[in-house]
């Protein structure tokens, strides 16, 4: 089976509008197998968000290659990139970014409608996902009426709604208290394991990192 994600020799710098360039990635390479959950650990400012954005086709590298599900993404046009991102990748951020005016159920349904799934099937899948992470009872609630942990569980369901081959997460439990973080992380791991997708999960929390299959570090612009 092909790897869920391969990053090869990524280079990325920002010039901050000045001649002096900040070089963030310096030949970063990494692969995540299908079904593998990899922890990405990095000091603040090391470039983990930059790496995740490039892996998820939200940004482009200055040099290097991104492959999703065995397919090279570098050089694809905007439209093909958008389609690949929508179909192949699920994102989870530190803050849930749910749509505040929609219910939990709608937040998980909407990305599926955008991907061409019909409404009844999308609702059934959304309910099943919400049920698996223990928030089916909150399906008709808007985000503001849910706890932080519940909101983040809904965000997990939204990320997995289109059955992506790759999950990318940036501090997915970073804004929760330690007890809630632990529980919510457990729910995420169960979902990921049940789907068999590859996952790259950035965290500062070494206890959570130790629960994943492999830990990699981002240091001086490379993955070690």
Ligand X SMILES: Nc1ncnc2c1ncn2[C@@H]1O[C@H](COP(=O)(O)OP(=O)(O)OP(=O)(O)O)[C@@H](O)[C@H]1O
Kindly list the residues in this chain that would bind ligand X in the complex (CB under 6 A): 14, 16, 22, 24, 42, 44-50
Nearer to ligand X by Cβ, of 17 and 100: the residue is: 17
119 contacts 106 by C-beta, under 8 angstroms: no
**DSSP E strands, 151-197:** 166-170
Tell me, rounded to whole angstroms, the distance of Cα 138 from its chain centroid.
23
In the bound complex, what is the minimum distance in angstroms from residue 34's beta carbon to ligand X? 25
Nearer to ligand X by Cβ, of 52 and 108: the residue is: 52
Nearer to ligand X by Cβ, of 14 and 95: the residue is: 14
In the bound complex, what is the minimum distance in angstroms from residue 121's beta carbon to ligand X? 36
In the bound complex, what is the minimum distance in angstroms from residue 213's beta carbon to ligand X? 22
* Angle, helices 178-195/148-160, rounded to nearest 10 degrees: 20
In the bound complex, what is the minimum distance in angstroms from residue 29's beta carbon to ligand X? 17
Phi and psi angles of residue 115, each rounded to the nearest 5 degrees, phi first: -95, 10
Nearer to ligand X by Cβ, of 41 and 191: the residue is: 41
CA distance linking residue 83 with residue 99, whole number of Å: 21
In the bound complex, what is the minimum distance in angstroms from residue 181's beta carbon to ligand X? 16
CA distance linking residue 176 with residue 182, whole number of Å: 9
41 contacts 204 by C-beta, under 8 angstroms: yes
195 contacts 90 by C-beta, under 8 angstroms: no
Q: Which helix (H) or strand (E) holds 60?
A: none
Nearer to ligand X by Cβ, of 10 and 68: the residue is: 10
- Which tokens go with 85? 């991102």
In the bound complex, what is the minimum distance in angstroms from residue 42's beta carbon to ligand X? 5
Nearer to ligand X by Cβ, of 49 and 112: the residue is: 49
């Amino acid at each position: 089976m092909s790897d869920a994600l391969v990053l090869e020799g990524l280079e990325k710098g920002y010039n901050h509008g000045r001649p002096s360039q900040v070089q963030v990635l310096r030949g970063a390479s990494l692969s995540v197998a299908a079904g593998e959950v990899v922890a990405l650990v990095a000091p603040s400012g090391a470039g983990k968000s930059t790496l995740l954005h490039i892996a998820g086709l939200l940004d482009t590298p200055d040099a290097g290659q991104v492959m999703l599900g065995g397919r090279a993404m570098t050089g694809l046009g905007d439209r093909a990139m958008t389609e690949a991102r929508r179909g192949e990748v699920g994102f989870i951020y530190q803050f849930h970014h749910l749509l505040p005016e929609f219910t939990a159920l709608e937040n998980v349904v909407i990305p599926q409608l955008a991907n061409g799934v019909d409404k009844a099937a999308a609702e059934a899948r959304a309910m099943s996902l919400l049920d698996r992470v223990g928030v089916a009872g909150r399906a008709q609630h808007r985000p503001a009426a849910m706890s932080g942990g519940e909101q983040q569980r809904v965000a997990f369901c939204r990320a997995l709604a289109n059955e992506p081959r790759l999950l990318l997460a940036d501090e997915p439990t970073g804004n929760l208290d330690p007890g809630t973080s632990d529980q919510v992380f457990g729910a995420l791991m169960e979902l990921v394991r049940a789907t068999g997708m590859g996952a790259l999960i950035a965290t500062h929390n070494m206890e959570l990192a130790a629960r994943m299959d492999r830990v990699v570090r981002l240091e001086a612009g490379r993955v070690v």
